[in-house]
Chain A
Amino acid sequence: MKNEVSWRTKILVRLMMLCMAITLAGIALSAPSESSYISQAATYRVKEAGVESPVTAVLIHFRGYDTMLEVTVMLLVAIGAMAVGKNQDESQPALLAQKEETLLTNPMIRLLLPIMLMVSIYYLWAGAKKAGGAFQAGTVLGSMGIMLLLAQKLHSSNRESALWRILLVVGPFTFVTLSFVSIFFGNAFLDFPQFMNSQLIFCIEAMVSISTGAIFCVVFARCSNLSFSEKQ
Protein backbone atom coordinates (compact mmCIF):
# COMPACT_ATOMS: atom_id res chain seq x y z
CA MET A 1 0.00 0.00 0.00
CA LYS A 2 2.00 2.94 -1.22
CA ASN A 3 -0.80 5.19 -2.41
CA GLU A 4 -0.54 8.14 -0.07
CA VAL A 5 -3.54 10.37 0.34
CA SER A 6 -3.10 13.85 -1.08
CA TRP A 7 -3.12 16.82 1.28
CA ARG A 8 -6.39 18.14 -0.18
CA THR A 9 -8.20 14.94 0.65
CA LYS A 10 -6.68 14.97 4.11
CA ILE A 11 -7.93 18.49 4.80
CA LEU A 12 -11.36 17.67 3.39
CA VAL A 13 -11.67 14.50 5.47
CA ARG A 14 -10.56 16.28 8.62
CA LEU A 15 -13.04 19.09 8.02
CA MET A 16 -15.82 16.53 7.62
CA MET A 17 -14.69 14.81 10.81
CA LEU A 18 -14.79 18.15 12.64
CA CYS A 19 -18.33 18.81 11.38
CA MET A 20 -19.41 15.35 12.49
CA ALA A 21 -17.83 15.78 15.91
CA ILE A 22 -19.54 19.15 16.43
CA THR A 23 -22.91 17.74 15.34
CA LEU A 24 -22.58 14.72 17.64
CA ALA A 25 -21.55 16.91 20.56
CA GLY A 26 -24.51 19.19 19.89
CA ILE A 27 -26.87 16.21 19.90
CA ALA A 28 -25.32 14.94 23.11
CA LEU A 29 -25.71 18.30 24.84
CA SER A 30 -29.27 18.89 23.70
CA ALA A 31 -30.67 15.38 24.19
CA PRO A 32 -33.45 15.00 26.79
CA SER A 33 -32.19 13.55 30.04
CA GLU A 34 -35.01 11.12 30.82
CA SER A 35 -34.78 7.62 29.41
CA SER A 36 -36.94 6.63 26.49
CA TYR A 37 -40.27 4.84 26.75
CA ILE A 38 -38.84 1.68 25.27
CA SER A 39 -36.12 1.23 27.89
CA GLN A 40 -38.57 1.91 30.72
CA ALA A 41 -40.83 -0.76 29.27
CA ALA A 42 -37.90 -3.16 29.06
CA THR A 43 -37.02 -2.53 32.70
CA TYR A 44 -40.55 -2.83 34.05
CA ARG A 45 -41.63 -5.86 32.07
CA VAL A 46 -38.47 -7.85 32.67
CA LYS A 47 -40.35 -10.45 34.77
CA GLU A 48 -42.34 -11.50 31.70
CA ALA A 49 -39.15 -12.67 30.04
CA GLY A 50 -38.44 -15.22 32.77
CA VAL A 51 -35.05 -13.80 33.77
CA GLU A 52 -34.08 -11.12 36.24
CA SER A 53 -31.39 -9.36 34.25
CA PRO A 54 -32.92 -6.79 31.87
CA VAL A 55 -29.95 -7.08 29.50
CA THR A 56 -30.43 -10.82 29.04
CA ALA A 57 -34.17 -10.31 28.68
CA VAL A 58 -33.68 -7.74 25.94
CA LEU A 59 -30.99 -9.81 24.26
CA ILE A 60 -32.74 -13.16 24.02
CA HIS A 61 -36.41 -12.37 24.48
CA PHE A 62 -37.46 -8.84 23.56
CA ARG A 63 -35.03 -8.39 20.71
CA GLY A 64 -34.42 -12.02 19.86
CA TYR A 65 -34.12 -11.39 16.14
CA ASP A 66 -31.01 -9.26 16.68
CA THR A 67 -29.25 -11.94 18.63
CA MET A 68 -30.28 -14.70 16.25
CA LEU A 69 -28.87 -12.78 13.32
CA GLU A 70 -25.76 -11.94 15.33
CA VAL A 71 -25.10 -15.62 15.97
CA THR A 72 -25.66 -16.29 12.29
CA VAL A 73 -23.15 -13.57 11.37
CA MET A 74 -20.60 -15.25 13.62
CA LEU A 75 -21.27 -18.58 11.94
CA LEU A 76 -20.79 -16.90 8.56
CA VAL A 77 -17.46 -15.51 9.73
CA ALA A 78 -16.35 -18.99 10.74
CA ILE A 79 -17.43 -20.39 7.38
CA GLY A 80 -15.67 -17.55 5.59
CA ALA A 81 -12.51 -18.08 7.58
CA MET A 82 -12.64 -21.79 6.80
CA ALA A 83 -13.04 -21.02 3.11
CA VAL A 84 -10.51 -18.21 2.76
CA GLY A 85 -8.12 -18.92 5.59
CA LYS A 86 -5.01 -20.96 5.39
CA ASN A 87 -4.79 -24.64 4.86
CA GLN A 88 -2.12 -26.72 6.43
CA ASP A 89 -0.40 -27.65 3.23
CA GLU A 90 0.41 -24.06 2.35
CA SER A 91 3.97 -24.16 3.45
CA GLN A 92 4.15 -21.79 6.36
CA PRO A 93 5.77 -22.48 9.68
CA ALA A 94 3.33 -23.22 12.46
CA LEU A 95 2.78 -20.58 15.10
CA LEU A 96 4.86 -22.50 17.58
CA ALA A 97 7.52 -24.32 15.68
CA GLN A 98 8.90 -26.49 18.42
CA LYS A 99 6.98 -29.59 19.34
CA GLU A 100 8.50 -30.17 22.73
CA GLU A 101 6.73 -28.81 25.75
CA THR A 102 8.37 -26.27 27.92
CA LEU A 103 8.48 -26.60 31.66
CA LEU A 104 5.78 -24.02 32.06
CA THR A 105 3.05 -25.06 29.61
CA ASN A 106 1.65 -28.17 31.20
CA PRO A 107 1.34 -26.95 34.80
CA MET A 108 -0.08 -23.64 33.57
CA ILE A 109 -2.72 -25.36 31.49
CA ARG A 110 -3.54 -27.75 34.30
CA LEU A 111 -4.02 -24.76 36.55
CA LEU A 112 -5.89 -22.52 34.14
CA LEU A 113 -8.18 -24.98 32.38
CA PRO A 114 -10.52 -25.76 35.30
CA ILE A 115 -10.59 -22.15 36.39
CA MET A 116 -11.53 -20.96 32.91
CA LEU A 117 -14.24 -23.61 32.60
CA MET A 118 -15.62 -22.59 35.98
CA VAL A 119 -15.58 -18.89 35.12
CA SER A 120 -17.33 -19.61 31.85
CA ILE A 121 -20.08 -21.64 33.53
CA TYR A 122 -20.42 -18.95 36.18
CA TYR A 123 -20.93 -16.29 33.52
CA LEU A 124 -23.57 -18.42 31.88
CA TRP A 125 -25.34 -18.98 35.17
CA ALA A 126 -25.04 -15.35 36.25
CA GLY A 127 -26.57 -14.17 32.99
CA ALA A 128 -30.07 -14.75 34.35
CA LYS A 129 -29.60 -12.38 37.27
CA LYS A 130 -26.83 -9.88 36.64
CA ALA A 131 -24.10 -9.04 34.15
CA GLY A 132 -22.97 -12.08 32.19
CA GLY A 133 -24.51 -14.31 29.59
CA ALA A 134 -23.92 -16.38 26.51
CA PHE A 135 -21.33 -14.27 24.72
CA GLN A 136 -19.22 -13.60 27.79
CA ALA A 137 -19.18 -17.30 28.62
CA GLY A 138 -18.41 -18.11 25.01
CA THR A 139 -15.49 -15.71 24.96
CA VAL A 140 -13.92 -17.42 27.95
CA LEU A 141 -14.49 -20.81 26.30
CA GLY A 142 -12.91 -19.48 23.11
CA SER A 143 -9.86 -18.18 24.93
CA MET A 144 -9.55 -21.57 26.57
CA GLY A 145 -9.51 -23.19 23.15
CA ILE A 146 -6.95 -20.70 21.86
CA MET A 147 -4.72 -21.44 24.85
CA LEU A 148 -4.92 -25.17 24.13
CA LEU A 149 -4.21 -24.46 20.49
CA LEU A 150 -1.12 -22.42 21.25
CA ALA A 151 0.13 -25.13 23.57
CA GLN A 152 -0.54 -27.70 20.83
CA LYS A 153 -2.92 -29.69 22.94
CA LEU A 154 -5.46 -29.51 20.16
CA HIS A 155 -4.25 -31.29 17.10
CA SER A 156 -4.32 -29.91 13.64
CA SER A 157 -5.66 -31.30 10.44
CA ASN A 158 -6.59 -29.96 7.06
CA ARG A 159 -10.30 -29.75 7.50
CA GLU A 160 -12.33 -29.21 10.59
CA SER A 161 -13.69 -32.53 11.73
CA ALA A 162 -17.38 -33.35 12.05
CA LEU A 163 -17.33 -32.71 15.78
CA TRP A 164 -16.08 -29.17 15.28
CA ARG A 165 -18.62 -28.49 12.59
CA ILE A 166 -21.39 -29.62 14.92
CA LEU A 167 -20.01 -27.38 17.67
CA LEU A 168 -20.03 -24.46 15.25
CA VAL A 169 -23.67 -24.81 14.27
CA VAL A 170 -25.19 -26.01 17.53
CA GLY A 171 -25.89 -22.48 18.80
CA PRO A 172 -27.66 -21.05 15.75
CA PHE A 173 -29.47 -24.35 15.25
CA THR A 174 -30.82 -24.41 18.82
CA PHE A 175 -31.83 -20.79 18.64
CA VAL A 176 -33.82 -21.22 15.44
CA THR A 177 -35.35 -24.54 16.50
CA LEU A 178 -36.46 -23.32 19.91
CA SER A 179 -37.87 -20.17 18.33
CA PHE A 180 -40.26 -22.38 16.43
CA VAL A 181 -41.44 -23.92 19.70
CA SER A 182 -43.52 -20.84 20.44
CA ILE A 183 -45.48 -21.32 17.24
CA PHE A 184 -46.87 -24.61 18.55
CA PHE A 185 -48.17 -22.79 21.61
CA GLY A 186 -50.05 -20.28 19.51
CA ASN A 187 -47.59 -17.43 19.93
CA ALA A 188 -45.61 -15.60 17.30
CA PHE A 189 -42.13 -16.70 16.15
CA LEU A 190 -39.59 -16.05 18.94
CA ASP A 191 -42.36 -15.12 21.40
CA PHE A 192 -41.58 -17.80 23.97
CA PRO A 193 -44.48 -19.18 26.02
CA GLN A 194 -44.40 -17.73 29.49
CA PHE A 195 -44.31 -20.92 31.54
CA MET A 196 -41.07 -22.19 30.02
CA ASN A 197 -39.31 -18.89 29.37
CA SER A 198 -36.34 -19.28 31.66
CA GLN A 199 -35.58 -22.86 30.63
CA LEU A 200 -35.67 -21.99 26.94
CA ILE A 201 -33.50 -18.93 27.45
CA PHE A 202 -30.96 -20.89 29.47
CA CYS A 203 -30.85 -23.64 26.85
CA ILE A 204 -30.31 -21.12 24.05
CA GLU A 205 -27.64 -19.29 26.04
CA ALA A 206 -25.71 -22.47 26.82
CA MET A 207 -25.68 -23.61 23.20
CA VAL A 208 -24.83 -20.15 21.89
CA SER A 209 -21.90 -19.91 24.27
CA ILE A 210 -20.53 -23.26 23.09
CA SER A 211 -20.83 -22.12 19.48
CA THR A 212 -19.23 -18.76 20.24
CA GLY A 213 -16.23 -20.49 21.78
CA ALA A 214 -15.91 -22.91 18.88
CA ILE A 215 -16.21 -20.10 16.31
CA PHE A 216 -13.48 -18.06 17.98
CA CYS A 217 -11.20 -21.10 18.07
CA VAL A 218 -11.75 -21.97 14.42
CA VAL A 219 -11.26 -18.40 13.22
CA PHE A 220 -8.10 -18.08 15.28
CA ALA A 221 -6.82 -21.38 13.94
CA ARG A 222 -7.50 -20.33 10.36
CA CYS A 223 -5.80 -16.98 10.88
CA SER A 224 -2.75 -18.60 12.37
CA ASN A 225 -2.15 -21.62 10.19
CA LEU A 226 -3.37 -24.18 12.69
CA SER A 227 -6.63 -26.02 12.49
CA PHE A 228 -8.53 -28.51 14.49
CA SER A 229 -9.30 -32.12 14.42
CA GLU A 230 -10.02 -33.37 17.90
CA LYS A 231 -8.92 -33.12 21.43
CA GLN A 232 -6.21 -35.52 22.32
Chain B
Amino acid sequence: MNQSILYVIAGIVVVCIGLEGILIRPGWMKKILGLNLFGTGVFLILIAFGKRAGKECDPIMQSLVLTGIVISVSVTAFSLTLLQKITTSEPGAKEKKT
Protein backbone atom coordinates (compact mmCIF):
# COMPACT_ATOMS: atom_id res chain seq x y z
CA MET B 1 0.00 0.00 0.00
CA ASN B 2 2.62 2.52 1.11
CA GLN B 3 4.95 1.57 -1.68
CA SER B 4 2.33 2.08 -4.38
CA ILE B 5 1.51 5.53 -2.96
CA LEU B 6 5.18 6.38 -3.32
CA TYR B 7 5.05 5.33 -6.97
CA VAL B 8 1.89 7.36 -7.56
CA ILE B 9 3.59 10.46 -6.16
CA ALA B 10 6.65 9.81 -8.33
CA GLY B 11 4.31 9.52 -11.30
CA ILE B 12 2.69 12.84 -10.43
CA VAL B 13 6.13 14.48 -10.34
CA VAL B 14 6.97 13.01 -13.76
CA VAL B 15 3.64 14.26 -15.14
CA CYS B 16 4.43 17.77 -13.87
CA ILE B 17 7.88 17.71 -15.47
CA GLY B 18 6.33 16.61 -18.75
CA LEU B 19 3.67 19.34 -18.57
CA GLU B 20 6.38 21.91 -17.94
CA GLY B 21 8.10 20.69 -21.10
CA ILE B 22 4.92 20.85 -23.17
CA LEU B 23 3.59 24.19 -21.94
CA ILE B 24 6.56 26.33 -21.03
CA ARG B 25 9.78 25.27 -22.72
CA PRO B 26 10.33 26.58 -26.24
CA GLY B 27 11.34 24.25 -29.05
CA TRP B 28 9.34 21.47 -30.70
CA MET B 29 11.74 18.72 -29.74
CA LYS B 30 11.36 19.56 -26.06
CA LYS B 31 7.62 19.54 -26.45
CA ILE B 32 7.69 16.06 -27.98
CA LEU B 33 9.97 14.84 -25.20
CA GLY B 34 7.65 16.48 -22.68
CA LEU B 35 4.68 14.66 -24.19
CA ASN B 36 6.57 11.39 -23.78
CA LEU B 37 7.45 12.16 -20.17
CA PHE B 38 3.84 13.13 -19.49
CA GLY B 39 2.66 9.80 -20.87
CA THR B 40 5.25 7.89 -18.85
CA GLY B 41 4.06 9.60 -15.69
CA VAL B 42 0.46 8.69 -16.42
CA PHE B 43 1.46 5.05 -17.01
CA LEU B 44 3.37 5.01 -13.74
CA ILE B 45 0.34 6.36 -11.89
CA LEU B 46 -1.99 3.83 -13.53
CA ILE B 47 0.26 0.85 -12.81
CA ALA B 48 0.81 1.99 -9.21
CA PHE B 49 -2.96 2.31 -8.80
CA GLY B 50 -3.43 -1.16 -10.21
CA LYS B 51 -0.84 -2.64 -7.87
CA ARG B 52 -2.48 -1.02 -4.85
CA ALA B 53 -4.61 -4.04 -3.96
CA GLY B 54 -3.14 -7.50 -3.72
CA LYS B 55 0.02 -9.00 -5.10
CA GLU B 56 -0.89 -9.12 -8.77
CA CYS B 57 -1.26 -5.94 -10.77
CA ASP B 58 -4.76 -5.24 -12.03
CA PRO B 59 -4.95 -6.80 -15.55
CA ILE B 60 -7.26 -4.04 -16.82
CA MET B 61 -4.72 -1.40 -15.84
CA GLN B 62 -1.93 -3.40 -17.44
CA SER B 63 -3.70 -3.69 -20.76
CA LEU B 64 -4.74 -0.03 -20.64
CA VAL B 65 -1.11 0.95 -20.13
CA LEU B 66 0.01 -1.41 -22.89
CA THR B 67 -2.45 0.25 -25.26
CA GLY B 68 -1.28 3.65 -24.04
CA ILE B 69 2.38 2.85 -24.63
CA VAL B 70 1.70 1.80 -28.21
CA ILE B 71 -0.38 4.92 -28.86
CA SER B 72 2.29 7.13 -27.31
CA VAL B 73 4.97 5.54 -29.50
CA SER B 74 2.76 6.15 -32.54
CA VAL B 75 2.13 9.77 -31.59
CA THR B 76 5.85 10.33 -31.05
CA ALA B 77 6.73 8.76 -34.38
CA PHE B 78 4.20 10.82 -36.27
CA SER B 79 5.12 14.07 -34.55
CA LEU B 80 8.80 13.42 -35.30
CA THR B 81 7.92 12.91 -38.95
CA LEU B 82 5.96 16.16 -38.96
CA LEU B 83 8.78 17.96 -37.15
CA GLN B 84 11.24 16.77 -39.72
CA LYS B 85 8.95 17.99 -42.48
CA ILE B 86 8.63 21.38 -40.78
CA THR B 87 12.35 21.84 -40.21
CA THR B 88 13.33 20.82 -43.73
CA SER B 89 10.67 22.82 -45.56
CA GLU B 90 10.97 26.02 -43.53
CA PRO B 91 12.65 28.89 -45.37
CA GLY B 92 16.20 29.21 -44.11
CA ALA B 93 16.07 25.81 -42.47
CA LYS B 94 19.39 24.83 -43.97
CA GLU B 95 21.31 27.36 -41.88
CA LYS B 96 19.85 27.00 -38.45
CA LYS B 97 18.30 24.06 -36.76
CA THR B 98 15.69 24.26 -34.02
Contacts and interface: CB of A to CB of B under 8 A. Distances in A.
Interface of A: 1-5, 9-10, 13-14, 17, 20-21, 24-25, 28-29, 31, 33-36, 38-39, 42-43, 46, 54-55, 57-59, 63, 66-67, 70, 73-74, 77, 80-81, 84-86, 90, 92, 133, 135, 212, 216, 219-220, 222-223
Nearest to B30: A1
B21 to A, nearest CB: 11
B70 A219 contact: no
Contacts of A222: 81
A219 B71 contact: no
A81 B77 contact: yes
A24 B12 contact: yes
B88 A90 contact: yes
Nearest to A218: B77
Nearest to A75: B74
Helix, strand, loop or mixed for chain A's interface? Answer: helix
A77 B64 CA distance: 20
Given A34-B53, A67-B67, A17 B20 contact: yes
B35 interface: no
Given A39-B50, A73-B71, 16 more contacts: A14-B20, A17-B19, A17-B20, A24-B15, A33-B52, A39-B60, A39-B61, A57-B59, A58-B62, A59-B63, A70-B67, A74-B70, A77-B78, A135-B70, A219-B78, A223-B77
Nearest to A70: B67
Contacts of B78: 77, 80-81, 219
Contacts of B3: none
A170 B56 CA distance: 34
Contacts of B12: 21, 24-25, 28
Interface residues of B, number: 46
A74 B98 contact: no
Interface of B: 1, 5, 8-9, 12-13, 15-16, 19-20, 23-24, 26-28, 45, 48-50, 52-54, 56, 58-64, 66-67, 69-71, 74-75, 77-78, 80-82, 84-85, 88, 98
A81 B81 contact: yes
B44 to A, nearest CB: 12
A73 B49 contact: no
B9 A223 contact: no
B70 A70 contact: yes
Q: Which of B20, B23, B28, B69 has the most CB of A within 10 A?
A: B23
A92 B80 CA distance: 17
B81 A85 contact: yes
14 contacts: A5-B26, A13-B19, A24-B12, A25-B9, A36-B58, A59-B66, A67-B67, A70-B67, A77-B77, A81-B78, A85-B81, A220-B77, A223-B77, A223-B84
